[in-house]
Structure 1
Amino acid sequence: MGENNSTTQIGTIHSKDFAHAYYDESHRNAALTRHHHTQNEVIFVKEGQCTFDIAGESYTIRKNQILLISALENHSTHSMCRPYHRYVFVSSMDLCSDYIHDPVMASAFIRSNHYRGVIDLTQETADEIEGYFKILVSETANHKIKWKERCATTLFNILILLYRDNPELFIIEKNPEDLNVIFSIKDYIDHNYSQPLSLESVAQHFYINKYYLSHQFKEIVGYGFKKYIQLIRINKAKILLQNTNLTVNEICTKIGYDNINYFIRLFKEKEELTPYQYHKMYYKNYSL
């Protein structure tokens, strides 16, 4: 029998899930279509390799390597070489914003100037990280008391290991005061995206200069202030489109926009689908 090469349509991990982890062994070559996910993703390869396209850049991840993908970025997998064995942990943005308060650790999911793509692991670190992934698989499957807290703690432990071996991949050269201020503002946006937000009003709220805010936010977060707000609002819109039957107009209002045509244009630019098309494709239609 010849090689089984196929293209697989992968659904979205359900956004109501706080977190989900799994181990998978693929024994066929495949190309996955563009992901429209709403969660952060951590991929740890045990065997084989896979090439991801993220924000126009290609990253090939191999055995004993790890890749972190932000919830704000769509990505595609355009080649997968068998056998491809990997652990995957997907988690809502709330996990980082609500449980991981160390800005250096939280910066792992920010594609800023420090980002270098795939992270190499020593065998010792890979073995330890596999143990943590097994905990994540168990916790997200069984949902025992305080499972969310344990998932957050376990992710934090993984990030610490990555930081110890690869400190250059994290934002450490910045003044700690700048990091704390900007991540406080990022957290403020994450929780107040539905409210009117302007550079001037947020700078005033935090008693800082708006030009300082604009420069430092772009430098640390990797997106301009306005762009980041747009991405957060689109992310929240995707969650509502996947999980509710709210109208596009209602969703537009809930995420902080008062111009539905502007919202639809932004959404289509980011997702290559209109909100209606996205809802039709992903509402209650997901797989792992």
Structure 2
Amino acid sequence: MIQCFVKKEYEAPFGLTQMPRLFSVSRTDEKASAHPRVMHAHDDLVEIVLVRGGESRYFVGGTPYEARRGDLFIFNSRVVHDEPSGPDRPVATSSLALGGLAVPGLRENTLIAEDSCPVCRLTEPQTVRLEHLYDVLYDELTEGNDDGAHHLLLAILTLVQQFRATAAEGSTHSGNAFAQRIKDYIDKHFADEFSLQQMADALHVSPYYLAHICKEVTGYSPLQYVLRRRIGEAQTLLITTDLPVTRIASQVGYDNPSHFNAQFSKAVGMAPRTFRKEYVFHK
């Protein structure tokens, strides 16, 4: 028998002084990614996403990042992120969301500093280890073992901290200060009715320049960005609340429920009610 000993006293990952709360765990294969989780943010949750396979490009805070197997993304609370997978760019992921996070020196529900790169590239052995823990965590939750799931969460956070300390940052593209202003404006007003001209007036530029910079940096026109923010917020409300679809449509800026259903189905590949039914696991 070979016995291993702990070399030092246990220290909680990220210097945590209280147990964070696990909110959800998800596992998406490349086939299911045909129905993407569109642009959204969480007010009080952090997401940790491990890319298991496929290739795509994620947008985090308005900046695009390449995504392929072994990439580990951290989305702090209130950070807008878009995961534009689909039939032409399938991607498999495991992810978890947690709240009640208090890392010393950072605002509440923030796992990494605001100016840190949100993605790092793991080695294959690291990816396999984390992948296994995500699978066990998912199985524990589906079997109703919430206590066991929270202990596994600490194990995952420990590995995430270790791996980020040694991993290379993922591939990124240079940012643009004006594009960030566009994003900030839309994130604040996406549920309101406004035209490209009104947005341009508010930002003191021409509509042409606004559209050109937004498309060049984010890959979307300003109005496409608005659409994805609306649909992403609708997905969040469908998953996390029991609000009727008509109420959700109104909250994200659609007065006509039929128009909302059509836009949602086009972006996600299924109707809002179907998405709500299929996205959430019911114990």
Shift of 1:51: 2.2
- Structure-2 residue corresponding to 1:170: 172
Change (3 A) 1:19 1:264: farther
Counterpart code for 2:259: Y
8 Å CA contact retained: 2:191, 2:253:
yes
- Structure-2 residue corresponding to 1:232: 229
Counterpart code for 2:210: L
- Segments of structure 2 that go 5 or more residues without pairing to the other structure are 1-19, 42-46, 58-65, 75-80, 100-107, 131-136, 138-148, 152-156
Residue 239 of structure 2 is aligned to residue 242 of structure 1: yes
- Structure-1 residue corresponding to 2:61: none
8 Å CA contact retained: 2:25, 2:97:
no
8 Å CA contact retained: 1:42, 1:66:
no
Shift of 1:43: 4.4
SS in 2 for 1:246: coil
Q: Equivalents in 1 of 2:30, 2:96: separation in Å? A: 20
Residue 219 of structure 2 is aligned to residue 218 of structure 1: no
Residue 260 of structure 2 is aligned to residue 263 of structure 1: yes
Cα RMSD, aligned residues only: 5.2
SS in 1 for 2:82: coil
Q: Equivalents in 2 of 1:203, 1:233: separation in Å? A: 20
- Structure-2 residue corresponding to 1:181: 178
- Structure-1 residue corresponding to 2:32: 33
Counterpart code for 1:66: D
Q: Equivalents in 2 of 1:248, 1:219: separation in Å? A: 34
Of the candidates 66, 72, 87, which is equivalent to residue 71 of structure 2?
A: 66
Residue 256 of structure 2 is aligned to residue 251 of structure 1: no
Q: Equivalents in 1 of 2:185, 2:21: separation in Å? A: 22
- Structure-1 residue corresponding to 2:191: 194
Q: Equivalents in 1 of 2:24, 2:243: separation in Å? A: 31
8 Å CA contact retained: 1:52, 1:75:
no
Counterpart code for 1:279: R
Q: Equivalents in 2 of 1:72, 1:60: separation in Å? A: 12
Percent identity (aligned):
21
Q: Equivalents in 2 of 1:273, 1:67: separation in Å? A: 28
Shift of 1:44: 5.0
Alignment coverage as a number of residue pairs = 210
Residue 212 of structure 2 is aligned to residue 207 of structure 1: no
Q: Equivalents in 2 of 1:121, 1:280: separation in Å? A: 36
Q: Equivalents in 1 of 2:257, 2:24: separation in Å? A: 38
Change (3 A) 1:20 1:224: farther
Of the candidates 265, 273, 277, which is equivalent to residue 280 of structure 1?
A: 277
SS in 2 for 1:73: coil
Shift of 1:273: 1.4
Give a deviation string over 1:177-204, Cα, whole Å, max 9, x none: xx12211220221222111132111111
Of the candidates 53, 60, 73, which is equivalent to residue 51 of structure 1?
A: 53
